[in-house]
């Protein structure tokens, strides 16, 4: 997918219309969709889409890009997922296959309809027009396997803020974590401090003894 600007290829009236629609979408604020408008290149249309609840993409955030061709809006834009995703209608290079961007395209649909269609595609994949044959086959024949695979890809690539735990944190969160004694939030008394000091001295003496052995 080329990252070269398409600004020079579009007629001025198209650029004005696209600019007007994008500004309106920013003000409208579509549910689950956040538009990212480039001030330097209005044809660089990107958005982040929240994975819909009840799907393997839930809790994920997916970045998509729309590429406007020279014949836009007479011809449909091309859509790409920039975030890796396991989906029947998304190719390895991120290209999206959906009828709205192909045979069902109409010049009056606009950017808003395209983004809503892509979001709906996360809810209802279409195995009949699969670009990812493996995902399409699993969707039809082994849905649980498809769901698990798509879920794993979402967790790896679409969930920001996930950080690997240190060995100590993993140990604390392990099976034995529930067996640890609860830490008292009560302030220590003078007697308890004396007892703790005696235990510490006894431990030091035991350590010295062991070293001598």
Which residues belong to the active site?
Answer: 97
User: H helices within the chain, ranges in order?
Assistant: 12-28, 110-123, 133-141, 143-157, 167-172, 190-212
- Residue 57's Cβ-count burial label (10 Å; 0-12, 13-18, 19+) is buried
Tokens 């009949």 belong to 128
Two structure tokens written together for 146? 């498809």
Six-digit token pair at 48?
A: 């982040």
Q: In angstroms, how far apart are the furthest CA atoms of the chain? A: 91
d(CA 19, CA 116): 18
The β-bridge partners of 132 are: none
């Amino acid at each position: 997918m080329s990252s070269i600007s398409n600004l020079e290829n579009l007629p001025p009236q198209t650029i004005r219309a696209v600019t007007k629609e994008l500004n309106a979408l920013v003000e409208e604020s579509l549910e689950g969709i956040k538009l990212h408008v480039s001030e330097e290149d209005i044809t660089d249309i990107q958005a982040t889409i929240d994975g819909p609840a009840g799907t393997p993409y839930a809790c994920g955030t997916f970045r998509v890009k729309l590429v406007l061709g020279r014949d836009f809006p007479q011809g449909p834009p091309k859509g790409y997922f920039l975030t890796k995703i396991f989906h029947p209608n998304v190719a390895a290079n991120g290209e999206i296959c959906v009828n709205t961007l192909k045979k069902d395209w109409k010049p009056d649909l606009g950017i808003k309809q395209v983004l809503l269609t892509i979001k709906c595609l996360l809810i209802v994949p279409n195995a009949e027009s699969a670009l990812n044959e493996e995902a399409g086959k699993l969707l039809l024949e082994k849905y649980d396997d498809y769901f698990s695979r798509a879920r794993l890809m979402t967790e790896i690539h679409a969930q920001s803020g996930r950080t690997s735990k240190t060995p100590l944190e993993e140990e604390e969160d392990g099976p034995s974590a529930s067996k640890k004694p609860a830490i008292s939030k009560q302030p220590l008394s003078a007697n308890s401090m004396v007892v703790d000091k005696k235990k510490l001295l006894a431990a030091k003496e035991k350590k010295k003894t062991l070293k001598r052995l």
